[in-house]
Amino acid sequence: MSSKTPTGRKPASDKKAGYHHGNLREALLERAMQILQHESIDNLSLRALAKDLGVSATAVYSHFTDKTDLLIDLRTQGFHLLNNALLDTLAHASNETAEQKVRLLGHTYMQFGRQYPNLFDTLFTWTPELERIKPDCIEAGANCEGTLHDTLCDMLAEYGVTAGDYRASVASMSTWSLVHGMTMLVRSGAIEGAVHCGHWPVSFSASQPEQQTKMFNHLISIELAGLKACINSINEH
């Protein structure tokens, strides 16, 4: 006879038994990540997670001191997820030029924001107290930026700019700012608002994804053309 309830879920007692083997922390993070697919971090609660998984609140608090502790670990996982998406893009574009790789990374970054909007907010708009951020979270975030930075530096190397050059850092920040800014405008609904007010054409709307992608390509083209044109005029002093 099946141990599942008529709803298809396993009884709470079965769940508790499985978590005695040290996988409760992972189960909590997995469930929290699932919730973020549909709800904001405001709706995350350690006690609600405990109830959802059929374990005691005490068991949950033995793994996470509070909600901030949970969110920091979710943030770490989110950065890993983003960087894996970026690296996967590069792996599939191994025969492309460095400039095309930069373009593809920009699209991957924006697609990540669309696919995981609440997780994206956790990565870039939720700010915990600095002293509480764990080293592995900082490293995971740095790895994401490093993937973007290194790929752009590969492109700039074609113009005689070395990776350690001040100009490379300015160029990297400029490109990241464009891609991140566009992602946030899409995420926040600001573009839809501007379209509704008649300030921007309807083709910019998310209701026309192909046209929006075309517009995004134009923005990246302007950004990269600007970098090529002025890179040698950027001086550190």
Q: Which of the residues in the chain have pLDDT under 70?
A: 1-22, 163, 236-237
Residue 5 DSSP label = -
**Token code pair at residue 160:** 């005689």
**Token code pair at residue 95:** 């025969």
The full set of domain ranges for the chain reads 10-64, 66-233
The rounded Cα 114 to chain-centroid distance in angstroms is 9
Is residue 168 within 8 Å of residue 161, measured between CB atoms?
Answer: yes
Is residue 98 within 8 Å of residue 151, measured between CB atoms?
Answer: yes
Residue 27 is predicted with a pLDDT of 93
Is 66-233 in the same CATH topology as 10-64?
A: no
Helices 67-92 and 135-157: crossing angle in degrees, nearest 10, is 30
Q: Which residue has the tokens 């891609």?
A: 179
Query: Please, what is the Cα angle at 210 between 92 and 219, to 5 degrees?
Result: 75
Global pTM reads 0.85
Q: Work out whether the CA dihedral 134, 172, 160, 91 comes out positive or negative.
A: positive
Span 95-143, pLDDT tens digits? 999 999 999 999 999 999 999 999 999 999 998 888 999 999 999 999 9
Q: Which of 168, 180, 182 is nearest to 227 (CA)?
A: 168
Using CB atoms within 10 A of its CB, is residue 62 exposed (0-12), middle (13-18) or buried (19+)?
exposed
Domain 66-233: CATH architecture, name and number where available: Orthogonal Bundle (1.10)
CATH class of 10-64: mainly alpha
**Which residues, at least 6 apart from 50, have a Cβ–Cβ distance to it below 8 Å?**
56, 57, 59, 60
**Which residues, at least 6 apart from 31, have a Cβ–Cβ distance to it below 8 Å?**
49, 52, 53
